[in-house]
C-alpha cells in the first residue's frame, strides 16, 4: 500500500525541502518506488534534483500527472533513481493551487490520489504556509513529517501547524497520522541545540525521530549540483543521517 508523506512546516528555512529530497533519495535507494512532488511555488525541490520548473503545474492541469513526471538527476549507478513531479513558478498557478475554491482543491487531491497509486512512497514538499495548498497536501496524505530547526524560535508557530493538522484529521478520520518531528541543523557543540532537543522531546515524546540531521556543508552544497546529499557526498554526516531517518520511517510502517 502506498504511503504519502507530507513534509510541512509553516516556518521557512527549517530544512523542509532538503528533507523531502534526501528522504526521497534514501527511500528509493532502499528499493522502494518513490515520487517527490514539488508543491512549493519556489520550486526548490525541482531544481534541487536537477529538474526545471514547468510552465503550468501538473496538479491543476486536466492531463494525468503521469505525463509530467520526470526522473530525478543522479550520478549514473550511484543510487537508485526516483521520480519527481516538478513545480511551477507561475503566479497564476500559485494562486490556483493556493486558492480556496473547492474545484481547485479537489483537482489537486484527485491528481495526488490517482498518481500516487503507482508508488510505494510519495513525498510532498509543501510551501512554508498554513494555506489551502498545505491543507490539500495534508488531506491526501497518510502522514505528516515536520522538520524543526534547532534554534531559539523552533517552537514558534507549532501550535498553529498542529491545529491545522488536527482539523484535517477530523475532516478525514483515520486517514492522516502524525508521522514524526525531525530535528535539523543540529550542532551538538551548542548549548542551545541541547536545550531545543530536550524541550521538543519532553513535550512531544516518541513522536520525535531519534535521528537528527547535523549541520553539514555537504547537505547545503548538494542542491546546487542538482543532487541529493546521498548522491553528492555519500560518506558525509548528512548522508548518514538521512539514511538513518529512512530506516526509522520504514520501521514506522
Helices (H), 102-213: 102-115, 132-140, 158-171, 191-204
Average pLDDT on 153-172 reads 83
pLDDT attached to residue 154: 76
Question: Which residue in 144, 186, 155 sits closest to 15, CA to CA?
Answer: 186
Distances (CA, A) of 66 to 33, 39, 119, 126, 220: 14, 16, 11, 20, 30
Mean pLDDT of all residues in the chain? 88
* Cell numbers that stand for 24 in this block: 526521497
Please state the domain extents for the chain.
3-251
Helix axes 237-251, 16-29, angle to 10 degrees: 70
115 neighbors 85 (Cβ within 8 angstroms): yes
DSSP codes joined into one string, 40-105? -TT-HHHHTTT-PPPSS-GGGSSS-GGGT-EEPP--TTTS---EEE-----HHHHHHHH---HHHH
Average pLDDT on 20-37 reads 96
Q: For 112-146, write each residue's pLDDT tens digit.
A: 888 888 899 999 999 888 877 788 888 889 999 99
CATH fold of 3-251 reads Rossmann fold (3.40.50)
Q: For 53-110, write each residue's pLDDT tens digit.
A: 898 888 888 888 888 999 998 876 677 889 999 988 876 666 666 655 555 667 777 8
pLDDT attached to residue 34: 97
pLDDT attached to residue 38: 94
Amino acid at each position: 500500500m502506498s504511503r504519502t508523506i507530507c513534509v510541512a512546516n509553516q516556518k521557512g528555512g527549517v530544512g523542509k525541502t532538503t528533507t523531502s529530497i534526501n528522504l526521497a533519495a534514501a527511500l528509493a535507494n532502499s528499493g522502494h518506488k518513490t515520487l517527490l512532488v514539488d508543491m512549493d511555488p519556489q520550486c526548490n525541490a525541482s531544481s534541487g534534483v536537477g529538474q526545471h520548473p514547468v510552465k503550468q503545474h501538473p496538479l491543476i492541469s486536466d492531463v494525468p500527472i503521469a505525463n509530467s513526471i520526470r526522473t530525478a538527476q543522479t550520478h549514473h549507478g550511484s543510487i537508485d533513481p526516483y521520480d519527481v513531479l516538478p513545480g511551477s513558478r507561475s503566479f497564476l498557478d500559485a494562486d490556483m493551487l493556493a486558492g480556496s475554491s473547492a474545484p481547485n482543491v479537489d483537482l489537486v487531491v484527485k491528481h495526488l490520489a490517482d498518481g500516487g497509486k503507482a508508488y510505494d512512497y510519495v513525498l510532498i514538499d509543501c510551501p512554508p504556509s498554513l494555506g489551502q495548498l498545505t491543507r490539500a497536501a495534508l488531506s491526501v496524505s497518510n502522514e505528516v513529517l515536520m522538520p524543526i530547526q534547532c534554534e531559539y524560535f523552533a517552537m514558534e508557530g507549532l501550535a498553529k501547524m498542529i491545529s491545522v493538522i488536527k482539523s484535517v484529521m477530523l475532516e478525514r478520520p483515520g486517514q492522516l497520522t502524525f508521522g514524526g518531528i525531525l530535528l535539523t541543523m543540529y550542532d551538538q557543540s551548542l548549548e542551545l541545540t541541547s536545550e531545543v532537543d530536550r524541550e521538543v522531546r519532553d513535550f512531544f515524546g516518541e513522536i520525535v525521530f531519534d535521528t537528527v540531521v547535523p549541520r553539514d556543508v555537504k547537505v547545503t552544497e548538494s542542491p546546487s549540483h542538482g543532487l541529493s546529499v546521498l548522491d553528492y557526498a555519500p560518506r558525509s554526516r548528512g548522508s548518514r543521517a538521512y539514511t538513518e531517518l529512512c530506516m526509522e520511517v520504514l520501521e514506522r510502517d
